[in-house]
A and B are shown apart, each in its own frame.
Chain A
Amino acid sequence: MTRIATSARGSAPDDGVDPRFGRAKGFVVFDTATQAWSYIANDAACDLPQGAGLAAAERLARAGVGVVLTGSVGPKAAQALAAARIVAHEGRFGGLVRQAVADHLAAPEHGGE
């Protein structure tokens, strides 16, 4: 059972995906155990002069996220996510959060959940 976070332009599952990781306004989270949606704001990281990706990774780790769906992740943020044992799936540059999560859960290599 996992918490799946998607970088998003809004706070709801029908909002658009934000292709940025560190400077995304927030992350919409789907919890596969409870089937509930929630939201993690990322404003604090957006304003940082450096290390926004690291701050976002830290925030997701503290929220118990296991998977993140986003456009692309920089090398330092990728390191931080790996240290936090969060799996990052890049390549999500548009569409809605709900679709991104559905596609992820349906993908055969992830075995569905």
Chain B
Amino acid sequence: MSQTSLKIPSDPKVWTQKVAHLARLDLTPEELATFAPQLEKIRNYMSELAEVSTQGVEPLMNPLAEQGAFLREDVIQESVAPVLECAPDVNESSFTVPPIL
């Protein structure tokens, strides 16, 4: 078992709640009770990757990574879509949100 996996709290509800906060998901007590054991079971299954030797192996992030990103010329074009059109609530040319601070 690696160092980092020892840091996972033994109660799945605790780490599920912490991750929910990071993901800006507000789980009900029922959701927490249902999800926590499911997520723990899935996480345990995925821990099988620890047995694979990957010394010196470059991570593969995208099947076409070698070709490089397909970039167009840096020239101003018409906006693809009217950005504010889908917004639930706007104030002139801005989206409204509650206070951040």
- Our verdict on whether A and B bind, yes or no, reads no
Measured CB to CB, the residues of A under 8 A from B are none
Measured CB to CB, the residues of B under 8 A from A are none
